[in-house]
Amino acid sequence: KVDICRWHGVHCASESGEGGDTVTKLELPANNLQGTVPPVIFHLPSLKILNLHDNGMDFSFQGVGVASDLEELYLQSTNVKSLKGIGKASSLKVLHLEENSFAGPIPDELYGLIGLRSLYLSDSGLTGTLSSSIGNLENLVEFYCHANDISGEIPSNVGQLSNLEVLLLSENNLYGTLPQSLNDLSSLKELNIDSFTRNNAGISGPLLSFNNLPKMRELHLGDNSLTGPIPDDFLEGVDNIDEVVNVNFRSNQLAGSLPGALQRLNRLNIDLADNKITKITLNLCEKDDWMDFTVDDYSCDAILCPAGFYNKHGRASLGNPCQACDAVVTSPYMGSTICPGTEKEAEKQILKTFYLSTGGPKWKQNDGWMDDNTDICDWFGVSCRDGYTVESILLGSNNLIGTPPKEIFQLSNLKFLWLYSNPMDFRFDGIEKATKLTSLLLDSTGLTSLEGIGKASALVDLDVRFNRLDGTIPSEIHDLRFMESFLCGHNAFTGSVPPFKTNRRLHTLRMSDNFFTGEVPAFDVHTELTALDLSGNDLEGPLPTNLLQAANTKSSIFIDLSSNSITGTVPAELARFDVLTLYLRDNMIEGISQQLCSKNEFNKGDVETYGCDAILCPKGTYAPNHGRASSDGGPCLKCDQALYHGSSECGEDLYKDSSAASNDAFSSILLGITTFFFGGFVYLLF
């Protein structure tokens, strides 16, 4: 019989220190654990470290209070879904929960773990705001909360974390100004609040001096909206002037000069590219050890390229000197990463190629296009950022034909590409180069494939309705982790409706009038999803009781599941919402939970007037077009043929077979995608 202390991953020690007779550590990382960890694990009386990271199992914190000695818990990259009960783990000092799929804000009970020294929550789908209760974690040394959906302002209470050395909040949706209390974190070594993949403005307002942070070595605030000058006493309090200090303020709106007082730091690397800096105090250009020793070779250019010069880094480096911008239009600021005139000329050539490839001479409107005397920013449908780089192309319903060239994705600042209602052959080749493309509208274009769409890494809004898309939803859709709106109705998609668990930011999902089968997914991890339309498919089974479980109950919710084959009872759990528009007509529903019939704000207030009938007409009645009583359609009417709740017709066609319904839907799709109106003419694609 093998002693348990010799089992793989089990470590024992003696309370007296004389022998190994009680389990103190259980370490089974990346060991293919499945299922749910049993709560009996917490009954190991001397357990101090539990390490189960990178396993496919779930984990419940219920009963964790029994593990009174548990100090370190490693659950990163597992399938933990809930933090309920974690507040009972009162002895925890180290907690790793990164790379999970939580839905919702950081629970208040976590802020009660006042013994925590290290807290890792990065890339875990967390939403909501940072609570002011964060100030309770007075022993915290490291806080990693990168790449979530945390929004709002940074609470001033963060300044109470006197032991904090690392604060990582990059890639969230934070806004507002930097709290002055950050300057009270005298132990802080590293602060990261970059926002380089987000499209929001990020942190704004003035830059703090950070002059009371003697240990500061890493300060990263790139891609925000900071304004004003760099304070003269910036980083004045750094104690060891010979250590390397890395600062990133790239792509903000900081203005003025780089203060000469920074010369006290001997090993500074500072990135100020793409700001509004106009001057570098000359004594800084003699700091040979700055910028990884490149100041010795390039002087001031190693800090920032001068006005009228540029390179891709905004500063000179080995083998990459600043280049003169030989163009009529140049930036008046130092640190340019592009030559506006050269960039603009390159973008003009791309637009010309686009014009010729899509039948430009026959567009409905093409004012300015191909005219070298007209600024490209004034060409019809084109808008520019700062007057020199293309930001949007809006050419919907403009008779574009052919295949748009892949070069269109090389417009480096393109955010909006709206080409809807044009009979073209659109393809996604090269879309990976459109790193800032957030909105792509391709509805009613005859689109036949989404191949390549997963490489549109920044995409937020995607509309591909009224096209010829078929088969199952491609898996690469799930790579669009920033997507908030996906519209794919009126196509010929088949298979089950995906749960979209990796697309956690979705607020709008419209997939009506396809051929989806199977049950309705719960979408129970989507905290922002407020509009869901799956009507006109072949979905069956009962409605899940946890439908939109993670959504904000105070939000106005829209759900349309009409014209499917859904059965059972409308669940009482939907009563948790304050305002709900719920369309369920023409299914096979047999009942309505009574709790819903007193929700007066449901269905635009119709429930207050008609009660349950405002949700669905009962069996034996119907309401033309609506399947429910409503203020604009009137009460439910008698219909003996209506066998289920929610009938919108009464007669022999009341329950058409599914194939007939599908054929009708498909005919509608064909009509929608093949008919385009240009100048009063109708063109049929096939």
Contacts of residue 163, Cβ cutoff 8 Å, sequence gap at least 6:
117, 138, 139, 140, 141, 187
Helix (H) / strand (E) containing 345: helix 340-357
CA angle 648, 652, 657 (to 5 degrees): 80
The pLDDT, as a whole number, for residue 388 is: 80
When the pLDDT of each residue in the chain is averaged and rounded to a whole number, the result is 91
- pLDDT, tens digit (0-9, with 9 covering 90-100), for 472-509: 999 999 999 889 999 999 999 999 999 998 898 899 99
- pLDDT, tens digit (0-9, with 9 covering 90-100), for 246-299: 999 999 999 999 999 999 999 999 999 999 999 999 999 999 999 999 999 999
- pLDDT, tens digit (0-9, with 9 covering 90-100), for 424-461: 999 999 999 999 999 999 999 999 999 999 999 899 99
The pLDDT, as a whole number, for residue 16 is: 58
Q: Is the pLDDT of residue 15 over 80?
A: no
- pLDDT, tens digit (0-9, with 9 covering 90-100), for 564-577: 999 999 999 999 99
Burial of 526 (0-12, 13-18, 19+ CB in 10 A): buried
d(CA 635, CA 630): 6
**Residue 491: beta bridge partners?**
none
* 344-497+507-518+656-686 CATH choice from 3.90.25.10, 3.40.640.10, 3.40.50.450, 3.80.10.10: 3.80.10.10
> What is the pairing mode between strands 309-310 and 323-324?
antiparallel
**Predicted TM-score of the model (pTM):** 0.76
d(CA 480, CA 373): 40
Q: Give domain limits for the chain.
A: 272-337, 344-497+507-518+656-686
Q: Is the pLDDT of residue 665 over 70?
A: no
- pLDDT, tens digit (0-9, with 9 covering 90-100), for 524-559: 888 889 999 999 999 999 999 999 988 889 999 999
Confidence of residue 673 (pLDDT cuts 50, 70, 90): very low
CB 574 within 8 A of CB 555: no
Burial of 349 (0-12, 13-18, 19+ CB in 10 A): exposed
The pLDDT, as a whole number, for residue 685 is: 23
Contacts of residue 25, Cβ cutoff 8 Å, sequence gap at least 6:
10, 11, 47, 48, 49, 50, 51
Lowest mean pLDDT among 75-84, 264-273, 301-310, 345-354: 75-84
